[in-house]
Every structure is written in structure tokens, then in C-alpha cells.
């Protein structure tokens, strides 16, 4: 451009070069914006999937805890039943002994 003679053609060439440069910059900005939107959408989708997995794990853990609690309660009921059975048996033996006059 420096060796081109001054005049309308040179000015037109400079303006066209500037317009092309502006178009390229605009294209880069548009591409960056639309690419960022797609990337953010993909990241959000991954986060949703991970949240769903964590929710499933949490619900599974709750179910396991409920099962364990139920087993502990069942064991407590069985132990209490055995204690009451033993006390009932002792009371029955004591009652039989008292009835027969051994006490």
C-alpha cells in the first residue's frame, strides 16, 4: 500500500482492508460467544447428570439406613421377648413352688 499512488483507489483499498479486518474481528467475537453458549450448556448438562447420580446414591443410602434400623429394632424386640420369656418362666416356677409349699 505504501508504494501505491495516492488517490481514490488507494483510499478504497485501505477502507476495504479495514472493513475486512472489522469483519474478521466481529466473526471471532460471534464465534467465541456462540461457542461459549454451547460449552456452558454442555457443562450444565454434566452437572445435572452428576446431581441425579448423587440423588440416587443418597436415596440408596437412606434405604440402606432404614433396613439397618429395622434390623436393629427387630433384634431389640427379640431380646426383649427373650427377657420377658425368662421372667415369665421364673415367675411360673416360683408360682408352682409356692403352690406346692416349697417356699
C-alpha cell at 65: 439406613
Tens-digit pLDDT profile for residues 14-66: 888 888 888 888 888 888 888 888 888 777 777 777 788 888 888 888 888 88
Helices (runs of H) and strands (runs of E) counted in the chain? 1, 0
pTM over 0.85: no
Q: What is the DSSP letter of 102?
A: -
pLDDT tens digit sequence for 86-102: 888 888 888 787 777 76
pLDDT for residue 12: 82
Distance CA 83, CA 75 (A): 12
**DSSP string of 3-36?**
TSPSSHHHHHHHHHHHHHHHHHHHHHHHHHHHHH
Amino acid at each position: 500500500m505504501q508504494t501505491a499512488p495516492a488517490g481514490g483507489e488507494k483510499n478504497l483499498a485501505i477502507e476495504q482492508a479495514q472493513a475486512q479486518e472489522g469483519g474478521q474481528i466481529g466473526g471471532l467475537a460471534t464465534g467465541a460467544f456462540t461457542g461459549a453458549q454451547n460449552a456452558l450448556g454442555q457443562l450444565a448438562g454434566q452437572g445435572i447428570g452428576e446431581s441425579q447420580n448423587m440423588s440416587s446414591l443418597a436415596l440408596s443410602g437412606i434405604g440402606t439406613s432404614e433396613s439397618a434400623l429395622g434390623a436393629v429394632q427387630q433384634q431389640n424386640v427379640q431380646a426383649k421377648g427373650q427377657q420377658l420369656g425368662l421372667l415369665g418362666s421364673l415367675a411360673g416356677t416360683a408360682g408352682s413352688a409356692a403352690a406346692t409349699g416349697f417356699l
